[in-house]
Amino acid sequence: MFTKDQIKNQYFVGDCKDILLNIEDDTFDLIITSPPYADQRRNTYGGIHPDKYVEWFLPRSEQFLRVLKKTGTFILNIKEKAFNGERHTYVIDLIKALKDQGWIWTEEFIWHKKNTYPGKWPNRFRDAWERCIQFNKQKKFNMYQEAVMIPIGDWAKERLSRLSEKDKIRDISAVGSGFGKNVSNWLKRNMVYPTNVLYLATECGNKNHSAVFPVTLPTWFIKLFTLEGDFVLDPFAGSGTTALACKQLNRNYVMIDILEEYKIMAEERLAKAVQLELNVIGQKKVKSNENN
Ligand SMILES: C[S@@+](CC[C@H](N)C(=O)[O-])C[C@H]1O[C@@H](n2cnc3c(N)ncnc32)[C@H](O)[C@@H]1O
């Protein structure tokens, strides 16, 4: 078994199912990943037949379950494709199988891809969203909601001008749930909690890996579910986007990918990011020296 110091900020090459056997139980605070899609991208790193997807995934998620801390979270970015003119059910089947494996299906976030190209198929429109499915080991898990608050924006100004008397008093829920809202309370605040729909642009800059997610995607979940110094795993790491996000946020990462070429690509990306940071620090120093 590796110690935590041995795995800290490392990129391992191999099948995540085998690599994880060397990592102790309860190691990670967050697992966030985008696995190979069923039968897609056959030419790059091999596809798994959609009918076999659940069977392929379960031995790997068994390891994820073991290495995730009890208070940790697993975010699975996935989207079912259409086969033979209909949506395949492998993602839905996978959710059910993961529940049977012991996971709690806590939430589903939608990643709305803001910048997809227009397109048309005979019987459907272009995909512009993907699932980010949240699983946990127990109902009580670490979540830092304040870390992802967003500016309230123009909604407040507009709503304020139209505030009714009812809005200004506590509005007891009409369905008798006991929950109520007082909209005027929210108007005094500058920051609000986001919804479970994430409006993020897709990655256009990285042409070398065919299925990169934008750095803003892992960044958002890392902020929501971890603190500085926590451990984050991406078992299908590709070009290392999750590692990049971890580096920027001072989290420790462990990356795994079956292809050596992606490790090299990730290391180049990380080195470039570090160089960029050093350049910025250098420029700031020069400026402050000039000002003194
Ligand atoms: C959708 S891509 C991940 C892309 C990544 N999120 C990024 O931003 O670059 C899936 C990755 O899983 C890797 N992969 C496929 N089977 C694997 C396995 N059994 N163990 C580890 N990695 C695997 C592929 O090589 C590929 O890079």
Q: What is the pLDDT of residues 115-129, one digit of tens each?
A: 887 777 788 888 899
Residue 184: what pLDDT?
Answer: 66
Residue 223: what pLDDT?
Answer: 98
Whole-number Å distance between alpha carbons of 106 and 98: 12
Residues 251, 32 contacting (CB under 8 angstroms): no
Ligand 1 binding pocket mutation candidate from 45, 111, 236, 247 (most atoms within 8 A of CB): 236
Question: What is the number of the ligand 1 atom nearest to the C-alpha of 241?
Answer: 8
* CA of residue 181 relative to chain centroid, distance: 30
Whether residue 157 has pLDDT greater than 80? no
- Closest Cα to atom 7 of ligand 1: 212
According to DSSP, the β-strands at 252-257 and 231-234 are parallel
Question: What is the number of the ligand 1 atom nearest to the C-alpha of 203?
Answer: 8
* More confidently predicted of 37 and 172: 37
Whether residue 138 has pLDDT greater than 60? yes
Whole-number Å distance between alpha carbons of 109 and 131: 6
* More confidently predicted of 42 and 74: 74
- Closest Cα to atom 8 of ligand 1: 212
218: Cβ below 6 Å to ligand 1?
no
In 10 A of CB 246, how many CB atoms? 27
Residue 291: what pLDDT?
Answer: 78
Whether residue 10 has pLDDT greater than 70? yes
pLDDT band, residue 33 (cuts 50/70/90): very high
241: Cβ below 6 Å to ligand 1?
yes
Residue 134: what pLDDT?
Answer: 98
257 CA distance to ligand 1 centroid (A)?
5
265: Cβ below 6 Å to ligand 1?
no
pLDDT band, residue 160 (cuts 50/70/90): low
Q: At what angle do helices 241-249 and 260-291 cross, to 10 degrees?
A: 30
Where in the chain is CATH 3.40.50.150?
Answer: 4-149+194-263
Ligand 1 binding pocket mutation candidate from 11, 15, 45 (most atoms within 8 A of CB): 45
pLDDT digits (tens, 9 = 90+) for 269-285: 999 988 887 777 778 77
Residue 292: what pLDDT?
Answer: 74
Encoded tokens for 179? 């929950």
Whether residue 175 has pLDDT greater than 70? no
Q: Poorest-confidence range of 116-120, 197-201, 230-234, 240-244?
A: 116-120
Q: Poorest-confidence range of 20-29, 38-47, 197-206, 212-221?
A: 38-47
Whether residue 55 has pLDDT greater than 70? yes
CATH of 4-149+194-263, one of 3.40.50.150, 3.60.15.10, 3.90.79.10, 3.30.70.100: 3.40.50.150
209: Cβ below 6 Å to ligand 1?
yes
262: Cβ below 6 Å to ligand 1?
yes
Whole-number Å distance between alpha carbons of 131 and 79: 6
| Amino acid (one-letter) located at 129 | W
Whether residue 114 has pLDDT greater than 60? yes
| Amino acid (one-letter) located at 89 | T
Residue 49: what pLDDT?
Answer: 87
238: Cβ below 6 Å to ligand 1?
yes
Q: What percent of the chain has pLDDT over 70?
A: 84
